[in-house]
Amino acid sequence: MAARFKIIVLDAPRGQANAFNVALWADVPAGREAFFANANAVSAWKDATTGAGSDTEKLQLGQVVERVTTISRSQGGNLSQMQADAIAAHAVLQAEVNVNLWTRYGSTWDGSGWVAGGVS
């Protein structure tokens, strides 16, 4: 299931007038959810929904991954640039999540031959 949002502005870090903390939500490819699942996961966003089919359930089931990061406005930058930087940060996270680290997961050798495993 897809994340309800991709980027959520959380707050401004203390002492950093030109920055925002954001939560980035990336969709986990089907079949790999178990590797991202965390029954104790909660969002940094206090307004994340709870219950069946909720934001929190998607995080806990590994359907969605959250990363909190700070987006800083460079000297002379404006809000539009910060928004573009947040979108770029989300694209990086989504690309990382899309990399399949488990193409051979569960492959076994019984002493005489290999049985191929893997997650697509």
Q: pLDDT tens-digit profile of 59-96?
A: 999 999 999 999 987 766 788 989 999 999 999 999 99
Question: Would 63 be classed as within a structural domain?
Answer: yes
Question: Would 1 be classed as within a structural domain?
Answer: no
C-alpha separations of 34 from 29, 65, 109 in Å: 11, 12, 23
53 Cα distance to chain centroid: 17
Q: Which domain holds residue 88?
A: 7-115
DSSP letter for each residue of 66-118: EEEEEEEPPTT--HHHHHHHHHHHHHHHHHHHHS-S-TTTT-EE-SS-EE---
Question: Would 74 be classed as within a structural domain?
Answer: yes
pTM score of the predicted model? 0.91
Residues in the chain, total: 120
Does 7 or 1 have the greater pLDDT score? Answer: 7
d(CA 72, CA 79): 10
Q: Average per-residue pLDDT in the chain?
A: 95
Question: Would 120 be classed as within a structural domain?
Answer: no
- % of the chain exceeding 90 in pLDDT: 86
Q: In the chain, how many domains are there?
A: 1
d(CA 77, CA 75): 5
Q: Which two tokens stand for residue 82?
A: 């910060």
